[in-house]
Amino acid sequence: MSYAVKEMFVTLQGEGAQSGARAVFCRFAGCNLWTGREADRADAICQFCDTDFVGMDGQGGGRFADAAALTAAISAIWGGGMAGRLVVLTGGEPMLQVDAPLIDTLHGAGFRIAIESNGTLAVPRSIDWICISPKAGSDVVQTSGDELKLIWPQPGSDWRAMENWAFSHFFVQPMDVAEDTKRAANVRAAMAHIYDHPRWRLSLQTHKILGID
């Protein structure tokens, strides 16, 4: 199959347990929780989404004919050397496109594979690091993995039930909004949740603090 990619770039992972790690981010186009049409935004489950996943016009984006072509592009973005190779497959919703040939080909090129998914589609355990960010109102089927990252506050999230899911790390991440006072209130709300429920940890979008992609 071919793959539609919005953008690809090398950066430092900004969120969660792998913050600070050098990685190639491969952002797939499309999401199953929103059509991508502005007219439909009011009906989207996750209206707080801060990611542009529409089209293939971003840096390094395009349509790649097969797994070998996409892996070659990811390898070129990483550059020389095999040590520490990490690719983060994200979106949109990457599991709309990620398949066994791509996973196998990336592993063959020496990459450790991380994925950031909304959890509404099953993620194969052949992926090395599974991060699930559940959205209130969606039907989550992937209730195990390495990292659960819950955007906070998110009315309607059954976070108590999520504590029974099989993850190694549980994070709340303050919802990013344009208004400074509301953003600060979200940070305080996330901190308050952790003080009251210490199984959870704080995830910050450090890439935004650093001013990188």
pLDDT at 41: 47
> Quick one: fold of 3-210?
TIM Barrel (3.20.20)
Enclosing H/E stretch for 67: helix 67-78
Among 35, 52, 143, 207, the active-site one is 207
Could you tell me the pTM of the whole model? 0.91
Which of these, 71, 129, 64, lies nearest to 105 by C-alpha position?
A: 71
Whether 49 is a known active-site residue: answer: yes
Residue-wise pLDDT tens digits, 93-136:
999 999 999 999 999 999 999 999 999 999 999 999 999 999 99
Whether 131 is a known active-site residue: answer: no
Phi and psi angles of residue 71, each rounded to the nearest 5 degrees, phi first: -65, -40
Whether 46 is a known active-site residue: answer: yes
Among 51, 66, 107, 213, the active-site one is 51
Phi and psi angles of residue 22, each rounded to the nearest 5 degrees, phi first: -70, 135
Report residue 99 CA to chain centroid gap.
17
Whether 116 is a known active-site residue: answer: yes
- Spans in the chain with pLDDT lower than 50: 38-39, 41-42
Whether 25 is a known active-site residue: answer: yes
Among 28, 46, 64, 90, the active-site one is 46
pLDDT at 39: 46
Q: Inter-axis angle of helices 67-78 and 100-108, to 10 degrees?
A: 40
Among 15, 31, 90, 111, the active-site one is 31
What whole-number distance in Å separates Cα of residue 139 and Cα of residue 143? 11
160 token code pair: 């108590």
Among 49, 93, 120, 171, the active-site one is 49
Among 15, 93, 116, 146, the active-site one is 116
Whether 147 is a known active-site residue: answer: no
Among 40, 50, 104, 158, the active-site one is 50
What whole-number distance in Å separates Cα of residue 98 and Cα of residue 67? 9
Whether 207 is a known active-site residue: answer: yes
pLDDT at 36: 54
